[in-house]
Amino acid sequence: MKKRLFIYTTLIISAGLLCLFAVSVSITQGNNLNMAKSTVMEAARICAGLYSDDVDLDAFVKAGDETRITVISQDGTVLADSFPLDMGSLENHLARPEVRDAANGSPTAHVRHSETLGIDFIYYALKVEAADGHVFIRAAVPVALINAYLLRMLPPLVILLFAVALLCLALSRSVIRRIIKPFESVECRLRMLAGGEYEPEPIAGNYAEIETLIRSIDEVTEMLQKSFEELRNEKTKLDYVMGNIGDGLVVLDDNGDVALINPAARGIFNVTPEIMGKSMNYLTSERALLETVRSSMNHYEDALLEIVIDGRIFLVAVKRVPDTRMTLVVLSDVTENRENAKRREEFFTNASHELKTPLTAIKGFNELTAINNKDEGIVKYIESIARETDRMLSLIVDMLKLSELEGTQDVNPVPVSLSKAAGEVSDNLTGILTEKSVSLEIVGDGEVAAEQGHVYELVKNLVENAVRYSNQGGKVSVIIDCEKGETSLYVFDEGIGISPEEQTRIFERFYRVERSRSQRSGGTGLGLSIVKHICALYGWKLSLKSRLGVGTEITVAFGEQ
Ligand code: ADP
């Protein structure tokens, strides 16, 4: 900028000085001409005053020094001329403009080319009365004389011009420096600001015009420095958290490029920090993960999936970050959890099997003892042993059913009649129905596609609960509904009901509302868990409505069958 300003100023000063030079030369030339004209006129006037009829013409014309003096008769003949000429060859001068003007009584100075001498002259003539009429006294000065004056003036003028030019340039240079200096200071501050090493310092010199600007820069800088500091602290915290978090964390921008990745995620995907800014395709080739992330980005919705990387199972949560166009991918290693759950299930199944055999033996021996013992006191114990072994056996049977359901991946569905299943359940519950004088009605019919055993188990557990938790002499209804192509099973009872707080928990295994009462009624605490697992296996919708002391309604919606 400084250089350009200097060039512009130099050009402007040079142009100005050249114009000044041209104008002053032309004014000087004009003045010289006017002065020369005045000299010529004055010489003509003096000569006219000195002229008389008896004057020696040759001596008269020579008195003009540098000025050419010509005496012309009234008929235009040149009588004498101060310049050495051949008088005889001179043409008539009456037609000369200066002579003509003098004859007309309005003498005027003329600049014109002399045909006689071949150079330019300034001419002026006056009409002077003489004895035999009049003569014309003409004075003339060569124009070259004026130019000679000018040429003499020129060298000092040019030197002056250069001196002025140099002075102007030196002055403009210093002025430019002074003007630029505060801006350089502003520029230096901004550069320091960009480099993050800003140290506000007073500007040398008095620059009131930009002081406000400097103050604003200092204020903005202070604000920015504070914000940078806060951001640095936040980043340090974030880096610490990201670095110490066990889960893998990846933040993707709107294009699916990696915006942030923590060390755990780098370890999972086996990538270096250079992955930052690169497409997620460089992160993993796991198709399910890439497709889920892309779909989540396109549809602005969260997603959950499970993937296996290098033999480890990861639960992946894909979340859209609110108010941003970012997507967060969190990878939790659930391999251990899954293995523990598998081990627990195996233990559950093995323990159940191991317990079932000795219990069956105890039950058999107890029955044998009952046949051979009629002693009233012993019979009481034998009946108690029989009740407890039956309860334990049904518990073990339910445990085995549950673990079998948990391990089931595939099913072989066949059309199963719901009313037929309910009828079978009713036949098998005759004992308890009679014992509690509960009436059971089965209304409607419909088929579901499932394994027969699963349908029976589901209906049995629901109806058995309804009967078990009915009051003496109560009523249980099983309604099968096939409206609008959708099949549903409703099991109603008018029993003790379930409080709202318990309703969310009764599907947990071994959860019982009133342990002692449920135990007395012969339940195992696994019935509704089995129902829940069967529904989950087929994707059926299980719902519950209940009011304490009024009754319970459990619905299974099978969907379109
Ligand atoms: P249980 O074998 O003890 O009946 P379930 O898993 O079938 O176990 O039921 C869990 C608990 O839910 C029961 O102990 C009981 O307290 C409650 N429950 C289940 N069905 C009903 C019902 N129809 N009316 C009232 N309470 C019920």
pLDDT at 454 exceeding the cut of 70: yes
What's the rounded Cα separation, in Å, for the pair 73 and 93? 9
Please name the fold of domain 1-197: Beta-Lactamase (3.30.450)
Does ligand 1 have an atom closer than 6 angstroms to the CB of 470? no
pLDDT tens digits along 143-168: 888 788 778 888 888 888 889 888 98
Answer CATH for 414-560 from 3.30.565.10, 1.10.340.30, 3.40.630.10, 3.90.226.10: 3.30.565.10
Q: Which residues, including other chains, have CB under 8 Å from residue 1's CB and lie 6 or more apart?
A: 180, 183
* Cβ of 512 less than 6 Å from ligand 1: yes
Distance from the alpha carbon of residue 15 to the mean position of ligand 1, in angstroms: 108
Average pLDDT over residues 118-127: 91
User: What is the DSSP annotation of 115-160?
Assistant: TTTSSEEEEEEEEEEETTEEEEEEEEEEHHHHHHHHHHHHHHHHHH
Cβ of 498 below 6 Å from ligand 1:
yes
453 CA → ligand 1 middle, Å: 21
Query: Is the Cβ–Cβ distance between 265 and 259 less than 8 Å?
Result: no
**pLDDT at residue 234 in the model:** 93
Ligand 1: which residue has its CA nearest to atom 2? 523
Measure 465 CA to ligand 1 centroid, in angstroms.
6
Residues 55-80, mean pLDDT to the nearest whole number: 85
Q: Confidence band (pLDDT; 50, 70, 90) for 544?
A: very high
**Which CATH number applies to 245-333?**
3.30.450.20
Task: Kindly give the distance from the C-alpha atom of residue 505 to the centroid of ligand 1, in angstroms, as a whole number.
Answer: 10
- Which atom of ligand 1 sits closest to the CA of residue 466? 23
* Mean confidence (pLDDT) of the chain: 88
The residue type of 401 is: K
Considering the chain, what percentage of its residues have pLDDT values greater than 90?
48
What is the reported pLDDT for 160? 87
Cα dihedral 446→448→453→459 (10° resolution): -50
Beta strands 475-481; 447-450: pairing state: unpaired
Per-residue pLDDT band for 334 (boundaries 50, 70, 90) equals very high
Predicted pLDDT of residue 204: 58
The pLDDT tens digits for 208-236 are 666 777 778 778 878 888 898 999 999 99
Q: What is the mean pLDDT of residues 234-259?
A: 92
Regarding the beta carbon of 492 and ligand 1, being less than 6 Å apart is answered no
The tokens describing 38, both together, are 């005045």
From 147-156, 239-248, 442-451, the region with the lowest mean pLDDT = 147-156
Tens of pLDDT, residues 407-445: 887 899 999 999 999 999 999 999 999 999 999 999 999
Can you give the three-state secondary structure of 470-506, one letter per residue?
Answer: CCCCCEEEEEEECHHHEEEEEEEECCCCCCHHHHCCC
Give me the DSSP letters along 400-452. Answer: HHHHHHHH------EEEEHHHHHHHHHHHTHHHHHHHT-EEEEE---EEEE-H
| pLDDT 10s digits, 379-412 | 899 999 998 899 889 888 998 898 889 888 789 9
Q: What is the pLDDT of residues 83-109, one digit of tens each?
A: 877 777 778 889 899 999 999 999 999
Q: How far, in Å, are 66, 286, 376, 458, 526 from residue 148 at the CA level?
A: 14, 100, 167, 133, 133
Q: Does the C-beta of 466 come closer than 6 Å to ligand 1?
A: yes
Residue 134 has pLDDT above 90, yes or no: yes
> Which range, 164-168, 499-503, 520-524, has the best average confidence (pLDDT)?
499-503
Average pLDDT of the residues in 464-486: 94
Q: What is the pLDDT of residues 180-215, one digit of tens each?
A: 777 777 777 777 777 766 666 665 556 666 677 777
pLDDT for the residue numbered 553: 98
